Amino acid sequence: MDFELSIEQQILRDSVRDFAEREIKPLAAELDRNEEFSYDTLQKMAEFGLFGMFVSEHYEGRAMDYLSYIIATEEIARVDGSHAATVAAENSLGIGPIYYFGDEEQKRKYLPPLCRGEALWGFGLTEANAGSDAGSGRTQAVLDGDEWVINGSKIFITNASTEVSAGVTVLCRTGTLDDGRPELSCILVETGTGGYQSKVMHDKMMWRASNTSELYFDDCRVPRSNLLGVRGQGFRQMMQTLDGGRLSIAAMGLGGAQGCFEMALAYAKQREQFGTPISQFQVNSFKLADMATEIECARLLLYKACWLRDNHKPFAKEAAMAKLNCSEVMYRCANHAVQLHGGYGLMKDYDVERFYRDQKLLEIGEGTSEIQRMVIARHIGAL
């Protein structure tokens, strides 16, 4: 067993860490406070090469392994959840479905600008009444000649209503199967198509500098050729995409936990009470020891899941385990970090306050912790 990262992965980690410290960390608190999506940092992340990381060079991707992409996401999350969300959602949910299921024409048309980071793409799965029960969405697409006519709505869609959002992959009911279940298919809808509207969602508790949208389809007509892959395979495509996406959420949990740990350690070493740095009190040093141990375990589980994916082995169970574990490790680390900061941890002047809020999404998005436990229980034969 070799636990060493390759030289390329080590260089990538160092360079993304340096970039994140320099370009994102100084702005993150203010962007969060103002609920502002920054086009400036988006452009810098694009120029740095954070989009299309695992996509072939043929489509202007960077042709890296999945673990490298995960390490980059982890490093961005170490300083800010919102920017990590933009990167993670774009790579795994925006680019992923087109790359893995699109035909050659769709890939050539859509992927290059997405990989250059000039455009963003949404993943339209969730609906107001279809969250955990993702297959129960009501958005419908009916063929009329050579066009799909789409009606319905989606909610909580990342990256779909920025000034550079180029479109969205939408899961639609396209018919009924012989056994009465809906036939579900994915259809690509470009921004600017008549009958399609995306609206920014405001007043989020977390990821306040990322873009979240509601989507509306009102007799929205797109060419028949915008079907993604095979008709009726939409749910499977979405689920497969989420298997990879859950690794990104895990990376955000791991990176966020690492950030919390580093902030807590630094603060506990310089904060004195009763004439002693508070890190010297056993109750606090044990908290820090627990955080370091949990982070180490979480990293091993996540990197193993990525190794399975990179080696073309089944990884859905491990992805669900890593997502569940890393998001809950960040929960505990953020909680300890705020506790160690005492009253200051409750103030926006300290980044731990933002990390504490940003963490909560990770136990909900891309499948709640309850759904992850259900997926794992199915894999181990308990359900």
Residues that bind ligand COS (CB under 6 A): 93, 123, 125-126, 132, 134-135, 235-236, 239-240, 242-243, 316, 365-367, 371, 375
Q: How far is CA 131 from CA 124, 134, 363, in A?
A: 12, 5, 13
Q: Among 74, 127, 328, 366, which one carries the catalytic annotation?
A: 366
> Are 291 and 260 spatial neighbours (Cβ–Cβ below 8 Å)?
yes
In 3D space, the residue among 193, 212, 210 whose CA is nearest the CA of residue 201 turns out to be 212
Our CB check for ligand COS shows the closer of 123 and 267 to be 123
Determine the Cα–Cα distance for residues 315 and 86; give it in Å rounded to an integer. 24
Report d(CA 240, CA 188) in Å as an integer: 17
**In the complex, what is the shortest distance from the CB of residue 247 to ligand COS, in angstroms, rounded to a whole number?**
13
Q: Nearest approach, Cβ of 228 to ligand COS (angstroms)?
A: 15
366 is catalytic: yes
Task: State which residue, 213 or 258, has the beta carbon closest to ligand COS.
Answer: 213
Paired with 130 in beta bridges are 127
Cα 373 to Cα 371: distance, rounded to the nearest angstrom: 5
The residue among 101 and 196 lying less far from ligand COS, judged by its C-beta, is: 101
Pick the closer one to ligand COS by CB: 96 or 117: 96
Residue in this structure with the two tokens 């958005």, named with its chain if needed: 139
Supply the minimum distance, in Å, between the C-beta of residue 135 and ligand COS: 4
Strand 165-176 versus strand 120-124 pairing type: parallel
CB 291 within 8 A of CB 264: yes
Count, in order, helices (H) and strands (E) of the chain. 12, 10
The DSSP element (H or E) to which 218 belongs, if any, is strand 212-223
Q: How many whole angstroms separate alpha carbon 308 and alpha carbon 314?
A: 7
Gyration radius of the chain's alpha carbons: 21
To ligand COS, the closest distance from the beta carbon of 181 in angstroms equals 7
User: Please, which residue, 101 or 267, has the CB nearer to ligand COS?
Assistant: 101
Tokens read off for 164: 């550079």
How many Cβ atoms sit within 10 Å of the Cβ of residue 134? 18
CB of 366 to ligand COS, least distance (A): 5
Where do we find the tokens 């705020």?
A: 338
> Closest residue to ligand COS, Cβ-based?
367
Closest contact distance (angstroms) between CB of 365 and ligand COS is 5
Tokens of 79: 């300083």
Residues marked active site are found at 366
